[in-house]
Structure 1
Amino acid sequence: MNRFLIVRTSSLGDLVHGLPVASAIKKALPSAHVAWIVEERFEALLKACPCVDEPIPVRLRGGVSRLLDASDIRHLISFLRRRARGGFDVAIDLQGLLRSGLLTLLSRAPVRIGFPGAFVRERANTFFTNLRPATIPARSHVIDRNLALLHPLGIRLQGHRAFPFCLPAPLPRRHFPGAGDPKARIWVGLHPAAGWPTKQWGAERYAGLADRIAKRWNARVFVLWGPGERELAGTVLRSMRTPAELAPEMGVGLLAEFLARCDLVVGGDSGPLHLASALGTPVVGLYGPSDPVRNGPAGPGARIVRTAAPCAPCWKRSCFDRSCMAFIELDRVWAEVEAAIEEKPRRTDPENFQKHSQGVNNNGDRS
């Protein structure tokens, strides 16, 4: 077995948590060829990972129906042609959806590994895989659940946390002009949005935190946003009393470079938080409906502030009052932010900071 296909098309945080699988394959089988089917908007992330030899971009944001959409059929045809040229020995479905199961089946790999029925979001997914791990720990991090899919192949690297990234030389900080002090040595990114409304802490609380950060360290505070999130980011800025900056619109490649330049990132359970942590940037994660034991940031030194709500974690995407995140007081978050920034070594020459290979390994070191 030398040709592997990983099927995990989205989303950003889930892709980050899938990277240790590719890294583990390469560690166990250095000559293996690892391909990965991914939505084209995230292709740049996988191109920056040396453990992924071949990102295969597709457009599937509309679900299974997009497999038959004439406007995107060329992506499926490209994938099928790729399969016909080289073929795959093993396909690994990290997603557990009907669409990912279909793509796994289309690979025609003789070995198709997937999660047991209790661990997939759509039970029909199990019809498309033919091999599963014997056991998966019930209350384990999603990375370890993903790594369990390698057990049937004899690859057992539980606890493996390797996120190798090869980024371009980081952009000089002067390339991000704005309202903050361009000479400020501390950059903090705040990401107020999240995929679920129940994971959002609230614009006013982020604004209060940003004001404290800006005053305490004369830091440049950037409010991060993605598709559909600009209005919330703007609300945070309008609620602040000190100057802050709306981060520029960034694709995933530039976002990775930007997060690697930050001294701290604060946010809920979201893709940018997990990507920042994987890059080795200190993070403070705010958790309400989701469980950090399962979904927490996996990089070294990540700090977690959990809600005290008795109903958490509930895993609900909607709630009539969204009260669980309101249980997270500003002072608790501020204490973690202070500790994270005070403990982080200062970059003595930020304009000349050059690290072409970025990421973290099992020891928590950048690599």
Structure 2
Amino acid sequence: MPLFTSAPNSLCFLRLSAIGDVCHAVAAVQAVQRHWPETKITWIIGKVEAQLLDGLEGIEFIIFDKKAGYAGMKTVWQQLNGRHFDALIHMQLALRASVLTLGIKAKYKVGFNKQRAKEAQWLFTNKKIDDVTSEHVLDSFLSFVEYLGVPKQSPQWNMPITSSEIDWVNQNIPTEQKVLVISPAASKDERNWLTDRYAQLADHAIEQGFQVVLCGSPSEREIQLGENIRQLMTHTATNLIGQTSLKQLLAVLNRADVVLAPDSGPAHMATTQGTPVIGLYAHSNPKRTGPYLSLESTVSVYEECLSEQYGKPSTELPWGARVKGSDLMQKITLESVIEKFQSLTQMQKD
């Protein structure tokens, strides 16, 4: 039996971070909105992630600043003082997020089941979703809203992009050519592909008639990575690393014909725009964290690395098993990525 057989009055979603997982959560929240348009939805979210979702219709955002620690929690609790939700949907496994739920009043607090919950999340919830079989994180998020009573459906996204962001893209990528966006940086440097291979792939795409655009955050390491790629290239790419807001980056990914990225937020942002992604994976399972609509076009050495490290395939290891090592990404050859790029762009022509 679903938790609700008719539309609840109010739901509170808790998913603070990261960018990719917040994109997954949007699909779940918007599924609720389509099924129960009258239900009031509140979303407790991280400060950076809120910038990406600004303008999302019909959602009240409560921003939690994790850098503020306990004071940040008290700020959230004060904003929700006197409020009582029909259900709190607790989609974050971190202990800090679970502590945050203590000050949120809800009849039901719905979390992962014990098999998938980490950091004792199950102690903070009174309802657990049944799902233990979904491979992809997005499917497990959709299981939350199915548990509430929303029929199972394919994910859809409606992410607002304003005319000013579109104008910005048109000014910075003023071309009629097809566009390959390379977002080269993962959250850790060891998960980046090799710099010279990014450069060679970029040159190959330009020789195929593409405009290549580099994107990323304003962090020093990402800016340096972009410069290193440009210096190794024979041709010229447009380098927008450090020059976009999250909203402008979303608009750039919308403009792209193809995106190349390691396991990172922009791969999932591109997915919300229906843009094909060539995902590069070694450390984590692309079937779990890959770009949801582009799993066929990922280039993965994950199973190979897993076998070397554990002597077992992913089917015999815990959900979310990761591979450790600083040189795993070099197993992804330039030829394998060129081959994927060629087959994807050929499909677009056909």
Give the TM bin, normalised by the shorter chain.
0.7 to 0.9
1:47 has 2:74 as partner: no
Q: Does the 8 A contact of 2:305 with 2:323 survive in 1? A: no
Aligned residues: 326
The within-5 A match list for 1:93-108 is: 93-108=90-105
Do structure 1's residue 209 and structure 2's residue 201 form an aligned pair?
yes
Task: Write out per-residue CA displacement over residues 26-53 of structure 1, whole angstroms, 9 at most, x where no aligned residue.
Answer: 2331211111111121213222433x51
Residue type matched to 1:267 in 2? Answer: A
Question: Are 1:57 and 2:63 an aligned pair?
Answer: yes
1:335 pairs with one of 334, 339, 350: 339
**Aligned counterpart, 1:130:** 126
Q: Partner residue of 1:87?
A: 84
Q: For residues 190 and 128 of structure 1, what CA distance do their matches in structure 2 show?
A: 40
Distance 1:41 1:332 in 2: 34
Say yes or no: does 1:8 pair with 2:15: yes
Partner of 1:247: 240
| 1:38 alignment counterpart | 45
Show the counterpart of 1:119.
116
Matching residue within 298, 307, 327 for 1:322: 327
Report the Cα offset of residue 293 of structure 1.
1.2
Task: Report the Cα distance in structure 2 between the residues aligned to 1:184 and 1:86, rounded to whole angstroms.
Answer: 51
What is the aligned partner in structure 1 of residue 216 from structure 2?
Answer: 225
Distance 1:111 1:204 in 2: 52
Q: Normalised by the size of structure 2, how large is the TM-score?
A: 0.85
SS in 1 for 2:216: coil
Aligned-partner residue type, residue 122 of structure 1: E
1:196 aligns with 188
Amino acid paired to 1:43: A
**Partners of 1:302 and 1:308 in 2: CA distance:** 14
| 1:234 lines up with 2:227 in the alignment | yes
The structure whose residues are more often helix, as a share, is 2
What is the TM-score with the length of structure 1 in the denominator?
0.81
Q: Which residue of 2 aligns with 1:148?
A: 143
Shift of 1:85: 5.1
Specify every segment of 5 or more residues in structure 2 that has no aligned partner in the other structure, as ranges: 1-7, 307-313, 315-319
Structure 1: state its 5+ residue gaps: 347-367
Give the counterpart letter for 1:322 in structure 2: D
Change (3 A) 1:82 1:345: farther
Superposed CA deviations along residues 148-201 of structure 1, whole A, max 9, x for unmatched, are: 2234423341x5311112211322644116xxxx43422211111112344221
Residue 25 in 1 paired to residue 32 in 2?
A: yes
SS at 2:63 equivalent: strand
CA deviations 1:268-298 (Å, max 9, x no partner) are 1110011101211121111112112111212
Cα distance between partner residues in 1 of 2:79 and 2:262: 38
SS at match of 1:119: coil
- Contact 1:171 1:257 (C-alpha < 8 Å) held by counterparts: no
Quote the offset at 1:345 in angstroms.
6.3
- Structure 1 position 278 matched with structure 2 position 272: yes
Letter in 1 for 2:15: R
Given the superposition, is the C-alpha separation of residues 171 and 288 from structure 1 closer, same or farther in structure 2, using an over 3 Å criterion? same
Contact 2:284 2:302 in 1 (8 A): no
Structure 2: how far apart are the matches of 1:345 and 1:86? 53
- Alpha-carbon shift at residue 14 of structure 1 (Å): 0.8
How far is 1:315 from its partner?
Answer: 4.4
CA distance in 1, matches of 2:168, 2:16: 32
Q: How far 1:266 moved relative to its partner?
A: 0.4
Q: Equivalent residue for 1:355?
A: none
- Answer yes or no: is the 8 Å Cα contact 1:198–1:317 preserved in 2: no
Counterparts of 2:303 and 2:148, CA distance in 1: 41
Q: After TM superposition, give the deviation of residue 87 of structure 1 in Å.
A: 3.2
Which whole-Å CA distance do the structure 1 matches of 2:323 and 2:195 have between them?
18
SS of equivalent residue, structure 2 residue 92: coil
State the secondary structure of the residue aligned to 1:294: helix
Contact 1:93 1:112 in 2 (8 A): yes
Q: Kindly, what percent of the aligned residue pairs are identical?
A: 25
